[in-house]
A and B are shown apart, each in its own frame.
Chain A
Amino acid sequence: MVSFIQRLPPAFTTFIGVQGGTAQFATQMLAFGYTHPIIIISLAFLQVSIPARYITGEIELKTFDILLTKPLKRFIIPSSIFTFLIIALGLQFIAIFLGTIAGDLYFDLQINIADYGKAVFVGFVFFLSMGSMAMAICTFQIEKGKALSKTIGLIVALYFFDTIIKLSKSLDHLYAYSYFQLYQPGKLVQNQVDASLCVLISLVLTGLFLMVAILQFNKRDL
């Protein structure tokens, strides 16, 4: 496996955050699991699809015409959907973390579980900010399809931007502007990035977009 990784182009190994032959190979491989495209897609899909279905989808279906003529404050709708996101995302990350612990015990990797806990928490807050962003976009839309395509489009564009920065050394100066730099499990478990800063920025983004979502949902026509 190590020799296979060593044969890959350097740009690619930099991109996946795994360099063969180093002492941290096992740690890096485990961390790569956290950023594997399948994991990213499944985590992001939930954050995008829940607001699209339960905000824009309900607006499109006109089911709010009955629900919001009951004695219910409007902000409860986006707030409860956000709570739903927290629970769903929390369960996903708990499952990922349990998988890491199980892997560590089974293969006796002797990794520092606390570092992975840190990566899990950073990931949780990062994807929550993504969900909050998706919620804000969905409150401006009236069709679920458009809400989904705009949110997915934005996330893909941000991911693409991050990939280009990772692959091109001449674009290193743009590193600080990449959204996906807030979630770098490979670097987090090796203490190469400041986890608290990632959490702080993700929380600020979450709060900001959640506020936009609540304000827009409160004032919009249904």
Chain B
Amino acid sequence: MSTISKKEYRVEPIIQVSHLTKYFGKSIGIEDINLEIHKGEIFGFLGPNGAGKSTTIRLMLNLMRPSFGSVKIFNRNVQKHYDKIFNTIGNVPGELRLYEELTGYNFLNYMNKFSHQEPKWQKELINAFHLSHADLNKKIKHYSHGMKQKLGIIQALQDDPELIIMDEPSEGLDPINKNVLYDYLQKFKASGKTIFFSSHYLTEVEKICDRVGLVKNGKLITKETIPSLKEKMIRRLEVTFTQPVLADDFDIQSTDIVEQDSHRLVFNVRGNINLLLKQIAKYDVKNLVFPEPSLEDTFMTFYEKQ
């Protein structure tokens, strides 16, 4: 009977970011970022523009050198072994720039050559993103922003990479193509691939990710699972009643009334919303507005905690 070494039992994270710091002169790019991303998970990297998401990704991909700290991918230091690691990585950069003089097909085939294998997903992705034969025979300089983005996504996924790193990949995609992207990411996840997904849209991160890291001003504020994030997140609910109501009737745990007049109440709810909904249901409701939580509100939740 063959023996299994201790190393084989231990599950190493796919991405290990340790004390990653990047200074640009005197200004801070990112500071002391620590992350561990495990096999088969979709990790959302959420933050506003200029928070340090792209800098972190560029450091992870060896496009920048850290001031301090290190990045390991597949348990290998990226700075030393990038050429071996990148064989199994698909990357969609934040500022996607393609070779404008190539046609779509030429670009995809050129990118595929580095993997020395057949582009397993190319045809399927081309169909899924509705890129026609005529589109792919045109030079990239004639493409719209959305078409370039689709091409960038296809080149990242076509070779069936083990790790997919995407910097705001849904930028420029219409809602239908965004859903195509989300579906494929779920499909890749189901087959054991690991995905690092940066975004400044809370809703898309909530929709597809297992865990999320919130980054702002170059610092990682928190790492949460999506259920835990929802639990802690403050959400706003605005209710207009047909008759006057008393605010005292809505004295519910984890719920604050932030605005009120005779027929209308605005609540801030943290965590479970069911108790409030049950209370509201006792009255005749004229209108109910439950907007998407803003990124700023979400950050405030964690800043308050800190």
Interface residues of A (CB under 8 A from B): 61-66, 68-73, 219-222
Q: How far is the CA of A71 from the CA of B65 in the complex (A)?
A: 18
Cβ–Cβ < 8 Å partners of A69 in chain B: 61-63, 86, 89, 91, 93
A-facing residues in B110-140 (Cβ within 8 Å): 111, 114-115
A222 touches B64 (CB 8 A): yes
B91 touches A72 (CB 8 A): no
- Given A66-B111, A72-B83: A219 and B93 within 8 A (CB)? no
B65 touches A65 (CB 8 A): no
Expressed in whole angstroms, the minimum distance between the Cβ of A62 and any Cβ of chain B is 5
B95 is an interface residue with CB less than 8 A from chain A: yes
Expressed in whole angstroms, the minimum distance between the Cβ of B78 and any Cβ of chain A is 10
B93 touches A62 (CB 8 A): yes
- Provide a sorted-by-A list of 21 A–B residue pairs whose CB atoms are within 8 angstroms: A62-B95, A63-B97, A63-B98, A65-B58, A65-B61, A65-B91, A65-B95, A66-B91, A66-B93, A66-B152, A68-B63, A69-B62, A70-B86, A70-B111, A70-B114, A71-B83, A71-B84, A72-B83, A219-B65, A221-B64, A221-B65
B262 is an interface residue with CB less than 8 A from chain A: no
7 smallest CB-CB distances across A and B, nearest first, come from: A65-B93, A70-B114, A71-B87, A69-B91, A221-B64, A222-B63, A62-B97
Number of A-B contacts (CB under 8 A): 56
A64 touches B63 (CB 8 A): yes
Cβ–Cβ < 8 Å partners of A73 in chain B: 83
B68 is an interface residue with CB less than 8 A from chain A: no
Q: How far is the CA of A68 from the CA of B1 in the complex (A)?
A: 44
Cβ–Cβ < 8 Å partners of A68 in chain B: 61-63
Cβ–Cβ < 8 Å partners of B97 in chain A: 61-63, 65-66
Size category of the binding interface on chain B: 20 to 34
A-facing residues in B51-89 (Cβ within 8 Å): 58, 61-65, 83-84, 86-87, 89
Q: How far is the CA of A220 from the CA of B62 in the complex (A)?
A: 10
Which residue from chain A places its CB closest to the CB of B114 in the assembled complex? A70
A-facing residues in B273-301 (Cβ within 8 Å): none
Cβ–Cβ < 8 Å partners of A61 in chain B: 97
Q: A62-B93, A65-B96, A68-B61 are in contact. List 8 more A-B contacts (CB 8 A).
A: A65-B93, A65-B97, A66-B111, A71-B87, A71-B114, A71-B115, A219-B65, A222-B63
Expressed in whole angstroms, the minimum distance between the Cβ of A69 and any Cβ of chain B is 4
Q: How far is the CA of A150 from the CA of B93 in the complex (A)?
A: 30
B198 is an interface residue with CB less than 8 A from chain A: no
Q: How far is the CA of A221 from the CA of B114 in the complex (A)?
A: 22
Q: How far is the CA of A70 from the CA of B155 in the complex (A)?
A: 11
Q: How far is the CA of A61 from the CA of B63 in the complex (A)?
A: 14
Interface centre among B64, B83, B96, B98 (most CB of A within 10 A): B83
Expressed in whole angstroms, the minimum distance between the Cβ of B148 and any Cβ of chain A is 11
Which residue from chain B places its CB closest to the CB of A70 in the assembled complex? B114
Which residue from chain B places its CB closest to the CB of A60 in the assembled complex? B97
B114 touches A72 (CB 8 A): yes
Which residue from chain A places its CB closest to the CB of B99 in the assembled complex? A63
Q: How far is the CA of A66 from the CA of B111 in the complex (A)?
A: 9
Cβ–Cβ < 8 Å partners of A221 in chain B: 58, 63-65
Cβ–Cβ < 8 Å partners of B63 in chain A: 64-65, 68-69, 221-222
B155 touches A66 (CB 8 A): yes
Cβ–Cβ < 8 Å partners of A71 in chain B: 83-84, 86-87, 114-115
